[in-house]
Structure 1
Amino acid sequence: METPWWNDDDLLLAALREAEEEARAVPAEFVRAGKAIFTWRSVDAELAALTYDSAADEDLASSLRGAETAPLRALIFATPELTVELQVEAEALVGQLYPPRGGVAETLLATGEEITAPIDEDGNFVFRPVPAGDFRVCCRPHSGPVVMTGWVRL
């Protein structure tokens, strides 16, 4: 009768080596993105629904591209209590909370990196430079619910 692998040290070590090699085969960027998506830190955040994206509005998108000071893209995310408006400009991601209130905004990148910016009492916040790659914004107002946008790809 053959000895089960868990009772044979050589077979056990070989199985562990194989498992370690398989774990290394996963690209590090996938691991970071997975951790960023399922972070418990924002488990209490209310997911805001995308209610407007200027990229889907052909007439507005073409008129915005022609204006020098117009945003490159405008997005609106909403919950029953708060609305988050985002404007992608040439050098910054500009946001506004409605109704206005102060707090902290975070840009969460798919790589796992987080960038923090204050939200002033008028509900305004700015991230410089514009996030590269996929990102989402989490707003933590001083009063009211924590709100998180869906993932955005520019």
Structure 2
Amino acid sequence: MNDAVNNPMNDDELMALLGEAVAEEAVVSDRRRTAARAAFTWRSVDAELAELLHDSALAAGAAVRSDGDESRTLSFGHSGLTLEIEVEGEVLLGQVIGTTGGASAATEPASVLLERPDADAQSAVADASGFFRLEGVRPGAVRFVVEQGGWSLTTPWVTL
């Protein structure tokens, strides 16, 4: 049987035992603390993803009228920033509109990364107006990561 049931502690013994447990906090390694903090940041990952605002492939009747040669447009937004994408064949044209990083971010060009789960990422740097171009874009699952002046925007995965 449990010793605590057979031999109940008095208040002083209980407080001493609790004090020992609190003192063990110092034994936790920095590596474990860092891992715990990193795991905690995942609590808001969905709130940090850009929202798909428009996808021409989802428009009513798009599948009926499409002959497969038309361009596809996508629009993502988050916190005052919009990422506009147009895909025609293997060429992707895009524009980053707005900034969330303040005046210093406006002077830095935005970098755009097209990520794939099964291939190397492709990158481009937007010009002063936010325009960028990627070539050799194959169909499949992709997401975009836009970075500028210390802020970033990540889109959900979409299939091109």
TM-score, length basis structure 1 = 0.59
1:34 matched residue in structure 2: none
1:107 matched residue in structure 2: 114
What is the root-mean-square deviation in Å for CA atoms of aligned residues?
2.8
Q: Quick check: 1:130 aligned with 2:137?
A: yes
CA–CA distance in structure 1, aligned partners of residues 119 and 141 of structure 2: 10
How many residues end up aligned between the 2 structures? 107
CA–CA distance in structure 2, aligned partners of residues 153 and 95 of structure 1: 16
1:149 matched residue in structure 2: 155
Query: Within 5 A, what are the aligned runs for 1:1-154?
Result: 46-58=48-60, 65=66, 72-99=71-98, 102-141=109-148, 143=149, 145-154=151-160
3-state SS of the aligned residue for 2:144? Answer: strand
3-state SS of the aligned residue for 1:93? Answer: strand
CA-to-aligned-CA distance 1:58-104 (integer Å, 9 cap, x gap): 356777x58x8xx5211110002211011111231111111275221
Amino acid at match of 2:121: E
- Gapped runs of 5+ residues in structure 2? 1-44, 100-105
Give the drift of 1:46: 3.4
CA–CA distance in structure 2, aligned partners of residues 127 and 120 of structure 1: 13
Amino acid at match of 2:55: D
Are the structure 2 counterparts of residues 78 and 126 from structure 1 closer, same or farther at C-alpha, using a change threshold of 3 Å?
Answer: same
Q: How much identity, in percent, do the aligned residues show?
A: 32
- Gapped runs of 5+ residues in structure 1? 1-42
TM-score, length basis structure 2 = 0.57
Higher relative contact order (CA 8 A, sep 6+): 1
Amino acid at match of 1:51: L
CA–CA distance in structure 1, aligned partners of residues 110 and 71 of structure 2: 26
